[in-house]
Amino acid sequence: MHQESAIKVQNLVKNFGKGENLVKVIDNASFEINKGELVALIAPSGAGKTTLLMMIGCVLEPTSGEIWLGEERVYNNKWIAKDTRKIRREKIGFIFQAHYLIPFLNVIENITLLPLTNKISKKDAEKKAMELLEYLEIADKAQSMSSELSGGQNQRVAIARALANNPEIILADEPTAALDAKRSISVILMLKKIAIEQNVAIITVTHDERILPYFDRIMKIENRNIVFE
């Protein structure tokens, strides 16, 4: 199969602060991730995992370098797009350690919230949300409130929400940290299925050795650089 690039990073640098307070986090990193790949990102606490995800996700501005998302160069020593939020909305799905579902909305309302602000009709947004819930095997919870669901079920809803805009890239920051081994593996298998079937590139930050065998590649931050195992 032809391998299409989803994320290309070249000579990426990220420093925080200046002068005496300068903290170098990423120093001249280059790498590429293809569509359909499920990649683990592992490194010690404070090594820059969240910083790297947030730069790829167009949330945090790099210091210098280049970032391509699919065909589009989004960063070249400065943001190229005027509206980085639009790129985020259109191309990227985020999943966090905590599910951040809104407690007073039910499952389907949580999933359709963003698509509705994206000018998608209620009918289409709900149809898509139901398809995703079927796909993630929790359609029976569509009308439930987040508080009625288990940790693993809530994380599946968070995955459905991240998929609602058909993203090309999913960035997941320790999505299984709050789950036991069995549920963690089930979430990762779900991400694997999404990567393959929807041709999405997925980067998952994890500390969990038990789930590493399920990834296509393992990416590490070492000496402020990116290396693959």
Ligand X SMILES: Nc1ncnc2c1ncn2[C@@H]1O[C@H](COP(=O)(O)OP(=O)(O)O)[C@@H](O)[C@H]1O
Instruction: Give the binding site for ligand X (CB under 6 A).
Output: 16-17, 23, 25, 43, 45-51
Neighbours of 109 (CB within 10 A): 18
- In the complex, the smallest distance separating the C-beta of residue 139 from ligand X, rounded to whole angstroms, is 34
Nearest Cα neighbor of 225 from 23, 6, 21, 28 is 28
> 43 contacts which partner out of ligand X, Mg ion, none, CB within 5 to 8 A by kind?
ligand X
Rounded distance between C-alpha atoms, residue 12 and residue 196, angstroms: 28
149 vs 170, which CB is nearer to Mg ion?
170
Question: What's the closest the beta carbon of residue 82 comes to Mg ion, in angstroms?
Answer: 29
Nearest distance, CB of residue 41 and Mg ion, angstroms:
10
Q: Please tell me whether residue 50 binds Mg ion under the rule CB under 5 A.
A: yes
Decide: residue 21, CB within 10 A, 0-12 exposed, 13-18 middle, 19+ buried.
exposed
- State the binding partner of 228 from ligand X, Mg ion, none, CB within 5 to 8 A by kind: none
What's the CA gap between 151 and 139, in Å, rounded? 16
Question: What sign has the CA pseudo-torsion 14, 36, 92, 207?
Answer: negative
145 or 177: CB nearest ligand X: 177
Q: Which residue is nearest to Mg ion (CB)?
A: 50
For residue 161 the two structure tokens come to 């929400």
Q: Which is nearer to ligand X, 26 or 111 (CB)?
A: 26
d(CA 212, CA 127): 34
Best CA proximity match to 200, nearest among 159, 156, 158, 170: 170
Min CB(116)–ligand X separation in Å = 31
User: Binds 163, which of ligand X, Mg ion, none (CB < 5 to 8 A, cut-off by type)?
Assistant: none
Q: How far is the CB of 176 from ligand X (least distance, A)?
A: 15
Which residues here bind Mg ion, judged by CB under 5 A? 49-50
